[in-house]
Chain A
Amino acid sequence: NAGVTQTPKFQVLKTGQSMTLQCAQDMNHEYMSWYRQDPGMGLRLIHYSVGAGITDQGEVPNGYNVSRSTTEDFPLRLLSAAPSQTSVYFCASSYEGTGPYEQYFGPGTRLTVT
């Protein structure tokens, strides 16, 4: 299993541009989440999904959009990038088997918005 994969690893955007961060998992996990990590702030939840077709907002959802059409994929869309969205983005998945909260994290995407 590849686990949780994220693409791209690095991305530079100009203010106002849009883009999609890709996340995929091959473990058949029902739960998937997106977090952002900023210095001194820990990780904060952006959006999450408890199954295909079901998504909800986390702590910092503004400026981001998600959808979950398949169990495997959970893309994160930046609608109009802003410098405040410069961050490292982590996708995670989890499942009921070992306790639903144990997150399997992807390697992250480092995004810079200029």
Chain B
Amino acid sequence: AQSVTQPDIHITVSEGASLELRCNYSYGATPYLFWYVQSPGQGLQLLLKYFSGDTLVQGIKGFEAEFKRSQSSFNLRKPSVHWSDAAEYFCAVGEGGYSTLTFGKGTMLLVSP
């Protein structure tokens, strides 16, 4: 069975600093990879996705992620964090043939002034 690991439960970043959130997956075939963001009390918003092609994908709100097959990773990055980026971030992988996702446990991002 596939799995997704987000090693960091919490991360604190200063406003204006760069951000990298880690995601590792376990899946035999070419994965479909996603990053979602969830603000407190809100639903999930898709930040970006990777299906195939260019391994560096751009998303909304200035986020990007890089797919590295050799490391089974899909890390999320942002060059300069804003206070409004404080939220919980979920990495997810598509499950073969059934149109559902397996999620990591999430990383809570705190932004300090």
Contact = CB atoms under 8 A, between A and B. Distances in A.
A111 interface: no
Contacts of A44: 103
A50 to B, nearest CB: 6
Interface residues on B, range: 20 to 34
Contacts of A2: none
Interface stretch (B13-21, B41-49, B59-67, B78-86): B41-49
Contacts of A53: none
B98 A42 contact: no
Contact of A48 (B42, B90, B98): B98
Given A94-B99, A101-B32, A101-B34, A106 B104 contact: no
**Interface majority SS (helix, strand, loop, mixed), chain A:** strand
Contact of B90 (A33, A42, A101): A42
Contact of A56 (B4, B98, B105): B98
Contact of A99 (B51, B103, B104): B51
Nearest to A56: B98
A50 B97 CA distance: 10
B56 interface: no
